[in-house]
Amino acid sequence: MADPIRFFFDFTSTFSYIAIHKIDDLAARYGREVDWIAVSLGHLFQAQGITPPPMIPAKFNYLKVDFPRSCAFADLPCTFPDPFPPDVKLARYTFLC
């Protein structure tokens, strides 16, 4: 069998939300397993001194247009959590345990 697809995702990422719903079907189509790896983009941004995109007004305004459009294209429901970005520490810890 082929090596698994190493799938890195973050619970707060809008791009991860879409990919999470597609990765298993994609892997099955090619006879691959998925190695799910949760990451914290917030910590990665902080370590690199990068401002997260939702904290930059122009990028967040674009995200509010792009995310619903991308969800519609992927045939997925789209709702921004309130507050955004949500606190996902518990979800990440639960996934990792």
Please confirm, yes or no, whether 13 is among the known catalytic residues: yes
Q: Which residues contact 43 (CB under 8 A, 6 or more apart)?
A: none
**Radius of gyration over alpha carbons of the chain, in Å?**
15
How many CB atoms lie under 10 A from the CB of residue 14?
Answer: 21
Which token pair is 47?
A: 């370590």
The active-site residue, picked from 13, 16, 40, 70, is 13
Supply the residues annotated as catalytic. Answer: 13
